A and B are shown apart, each in its own frame.
Chain A
């Protein structure tokens, strides 16, 4: 790395033992804190529930603490832990299928009395890390190991898909396959896999639940049934469009304040942002996300460590996937799948998992 052309990286190396904090990426911390605070404000605006906002705030603080702990941990020592933590989470996935929480129609939640959490969220966090750890055990990644990861990934995908949770199961697929692909899975197999997937699309369509099919069909003509499946999309489009350039102002979005957008505090929170802060607010939001992902990608680009590259690469892609899919679904480009907007949407597990993800990448950043 002596020849690394980028001076700041070199500087970091020089300063390594002099100033611990200089290795810490404040841009990442700042953007995450900004996003989460903004999220809290939007949750309050759309739910009008101080209780829900405070609850989310507590999750945020807990996640922030967890993130900082991970950020300052030694990831080399943690790698063994990451490697083996896959199995207990897999057990949790079984558990949630066998003993579902009675409060919900879908088998996603584990009720711990004080709070509930989704093992699938935990899985999409753990899977890429333990996979990356598994794949980088040896200096050369063995193709046999890759196949094992792929098989286990599809297994997890299946377990989550039958909960049913299409959105998260697709993310898990991504989270498990990306480390393999980044680690150097032969292109020939990747293309073959993509080709087979296209062939199997009709079968996948048949195996979808009726409401999932409905959501996809609705995409093509949301106005057809304004009070049915298309309602969400039509209403959130109205919200985004009526926000205009500068928005209606904080707490003044009639679409969200008057409950025209279902789930406006969770999956559809982006429409509240667009309605109340307009195109300008959307641009600022994009900018913060941009900074965050850019800084995360820098880790994978400049880290000499293969594990770090795989993990930060995978997690950045997943983060971007969440953002792009969620926003596309809110404005009617993609079908409505249960996919929250990272750091903004209400939901404890997702927030904590996202913060811990950032924490791990921050800990990798120290290696640079």
Chain B
């Protein structure tokens, strides 16, 4: 070969090297980048790759069961299958949702709007339940086709099921999603966001116990979101079971008497404070709210003008009316402004100097000469007007307070306190000074004074206990541990015999021929009690007759009683709204409750 050729050859080789070099340089940079990734940033990428494959998810605990005092199951959990979707794995939402809607035969627009509401929210990338409570047919279809649909998975969850719906609703309450406000008030709820928590009733008061403890699960998932394996599982622990003090059979039978009526009933065991029946009528089906499937129904429930969701037994504030009279009498005895024997003439109306308008008694013409016992038995208004007038509010209010009027009984946070008026209260709330007339009205449990059926029951339980104020409770057992009786207060009277004498008077209300509740007299099980007629509007007799036409303005009928007198087992308060006559409407229910309960106890 010639030198020229050699030169040309080396020219060729140099050209090869020249055109090889850019790729060598590129490879060099690539190597630097690999070094950077797998040496200098390795830890960072290791974490990223872990978070890629590992998913931590919560396992919902099962809510505790609820039983009645005879261990009848009241609330259980249904297992339901839901469709959970993970937005991270959905490539094309429209195609995805179309697949789902075709497969499950559900409205595309519905799930599309659900999806977009959710996907524009704060937790857009978190998995959530798109379709709840799948039918068996849907589950069957899904389990065959799910492996073709990226980002969807069937998971099971629990839904709350109240077995005896209306009967137990006011006691049990219902559950619902955790609201922002609830998390604000109790940050602990943040980790229970996926669960439903108690909104009212026992479900709310004992939510923390019923709720249980969340479990956790770390899963390895592939890029399609499909489960590869469970890496670790910490199982959830079921919430505690509750045994209520409620006697379900009693409650059920008593609810029958409230059919078509608005009202409330509280039956409490005076010695223990255990509530055996608690009724608020009209009631509702808590399952409608536990698993909201039909928004229309729920809307109707909330807008019902009879307010079935309102618990009248613990939150309804009624004038205690004549049921307050024994306490007014006792207050006067304590203040020594009256004696058992002293008679007052009841002409049917009570006049106070300086007042134009007479204070009318419920009975036209009055009761004639009445002493304390007769005044209670016949429920003389004029007698107690006079008593209250002499007693003054400064003596009356503090005495009533001892029996729990004007304060929460301690059963639940949701109860109302009622109103126990005083000079200070009126100035603060009404902005007016206290008038003598206010005291007079209060003497018969009217005017500003209000109390919940529960408060009346607690006060009468104190009468049955001869002064022992027991905190009411509705839970007998939490898990395996029994709840204990709490004595809130002991009321002492200057003369201990007065307890007995008041009881005799209350017994006579039922048993004397002139007693206002003589209609429920039963010699076998003796009941001491007191009727009451709470005025919805305070007006005179003649005006009332016109007003009666509007049923919602008719007086509320009250009766509170306890029995058997020898050994009181149950104190029962019954209020029938617009029922007018305490003796005719409310007293028979109380009689029935005490009879049923005493028989069961034997």
Contact = CB atoms under 8 A, between A and B. Distances in A.
Interface of A: 1, 178, 181-184, 227, 235, 237-245, 254-255, 257-260, 274-275, 278-279, 282, 286, 297, 300-301, 304, 306, 309-310, 313, 316-317, 320-321, 323-325, 327-328, 331-334
Contact of B34 (A178, A240, A300, A325): A240
Given A259-B224, A327-B30, A334-B26, 11 more contacts: A227-B88, A238-B49, A244-B46, A260-B52, A278-B38, A309-B9, A313-B16, A316-B20, A324-B30, A333-B29, A333-B30
B145 interface: no
Contacts of B23: 317, 320-321, 323-325
Given A278-B38, A317-B16, A325 B53 contact: no
A245 B46 CA distance: 12
Interface stretch (B129-137, B215-223, B256-264): B215-223
A241 B41 contact: yes
A237 B9 contact: no
Contacts, number: 147
A255 B38 contact: no
A321 B223 CA distance: 31
Contacts of B27: 286, 320, 323-324, 327-328
B44 interface: yes
B340 interface: no
A320 B23 CA distance: 6
Contact of A240 (B29, B38, B224): B38
11 contacts: A178-B19, A181-B19, A237-B37, A258-B228, A259-B223, A260-B52, A320-B20, A323-B23, A324-B23, A328-B30, A333-B29
B45 A242 contact: yes
A304 B38 contact: no
B295 interface: no
A316 B49 contact: no
B430 interface: no
A181 B18 CA distance: 11
Interface centre among B30, B33, B35, B221 (most CB of A within 10 A): B30
B8 interface: yes
A241 B47 CA distance: 10
Interface in B1-60: 1, 8-9, 11-13, 15-16, 19-20, 23-24, 26-27, 29-31, 33-35, 37-39, 41-42, 44-46, 48-50, 52-53
Contact of B33 (A184, A238, A313, A331): A331
Given A259-B222, A282-B38, A227 B91 contact: yes
Given A259-B223, A320-B23, A182 B46 contact: no
A245 B39 contact: yes
Nearest to B88: A227
Contacts of B221: 258
Given A282-B34, A331-B30, A301 B13 contact: yes
Contacts of B44: 241
A242 B19 CA distance: 34
B16 A184 contact: no
Contacts of B26: 324-325, 328, 333-334
A183 B12 contact: yes
A255 B16 contact: no
7 interchain residue pairs of minimum CB distance: A241-B45, A242-B49, A313-B16, A258-B222, A241-B37, A324-B27, A244-B42
Identify which of A183, A184, A258 gathers the most chain B CB atoms within 10 Å of its CB. A258
Contact of B46 (A242, A310, A321): A242
B16 A242 contact: no
Interface centre among B33, B35, B220 (most CB of A within 10 A): B33
A243 B20 CA distance: 30
A332 B1 CA distance: 48
B1 A304 contact: yes
A106 B16 CA distance: 34
B12 A320 contact: no
* Interface of B (DSSP majority class): helix
A327 B1 CA distance: 41
Given A184-B8, A255-B52, A316 B16 contact: yes
Contacts of A331: 30, 33-34, 37
Contact of A245 (B13, B38, B223): B38
Contacts of A309: 9, 12-13, 16
Contact of B12 (A184, A258, A278, A324): A184
A260 B223 contact: yes
A301 B9 CA distance: 8
A360 B34 CA distance: 33
Contact of A182 (B12, B37, B91, B220): B12
Given A241-B42, A309-B9, A258 B53 contact: yes
Nearest to A244: B42
Given A309-B12, A317-B16, A254 B49 contact: yes
Contact of A238 (B24, B48, B222): B48
B25 to A, nearest CB: 9
A317 B19 contact: yes
Contacts of A260: 49, 52-53, 222-223
Given A227-B91, A254-B52, A297 B39 contact: no
A278 B38 CA distance: 7
B49 A255 contact: yes
Nearest to B10: A301
Contacts of A239: 49
Nearest to A302: B13
Nearest to B54: A254
Contacts of A324: 23-24, 26-27, 30
Contacts of A1: 1
Contacts of A259: 222-224
Contacts of B12: 182-184, 300, 306, 309-310, 313
B513 to A, nearest CB: 87
Contacts of B20: 297, 316-317, 320
Given A227-B91, A258-B222, A279 B228 contact: no
Nearest to B90: A227
Contacts of A275: 49
Q: Which of B38, B45, B53, B228 has most A Cβ within 10 Å?
A: B38
Given A183-B12, A184-B12, A244 B48 contact: no
A244 B44 CA distance: 10
Contacts of B53: 254-255, 258, 260
Contacts of B33: 328, 331-333
A182 B13 CA distance: 8
Contact of A244 (B30, B38, B52): B38
Interface in B371-388: none
Contacts of B31: 282, 286
Nearest to B44: A241
A183 B24 CA distance: 21
A117 B13 CA distance: 34
